[in-house]
Amino acid sequence: MKLLIDTSIILDALINREPWAGAAQNVILAIAEEKAEGYITASSVTDIYYILHKHLKNRDQVKQALIGLLTVVGVFNVNESDCVDAFDMPMSEYEYSLLACFGNRHKADLIVTRNLKDFVGSPVKAVEPCEVLNDLIGNE
């Protein structure tokens, strides 16, 4: 299963944001254990860096966290057609339309997010972390 992970899920895990941290960390752990393939977008990397640096205030800690993350998840590239095609998506926010375009082009099975309402109209089904965890580890 190929998962596109929304930035908020990564930040929940790395910053330990409650009440979402546990589920987010377990999604990343399941990816690390190769129960699924996990991906973020190239634009998410800069957002994660910025927010994590504001939180940790330590460049070396941020660097280590990002390098650790990138050993577990892959990065989907952004191209011009994604940026243009996102305008035609029947979704309310460009940011989420763009994520849906990435997921569709890279043939992601699911987008993992806390913001399901933002993905109404997405060509890739959006699920919350708990739902994908049930699929990945629920039957063990």
**How far apart, in Å, are the Cα atoms of 129 and each of 28, 30, 38, 60?**
10, 11, 12, 28
Whether 140 shows a pLDDT value over 60: the answer reads no
| Tens-place pLDDT, residues 88-131 | 999 989 999 999 999 999 999 999 999 999 999 999 999 999 99
Pair 73, 5: CB distance under 8 Å? yes
Fill in the amino acid letter for 30.
A
User: How would residue 138 be classed by pLDDT, with cut points 50, 70 and 90?
Assistant: low
Domain presence at residue 140: no
Percent of the chain at pLDDT exceeding 90? 89
Domain count, the chain: 1
| Residue 100 lies inside a defined structural domain of this protein | yes
Strand locations in the chain, DSSP E?
2-5, 37-41, 74-76, 110-112, 126-127
CATH for 116: 3.40.50.1010
Residue 77 has a pLDDT of 87
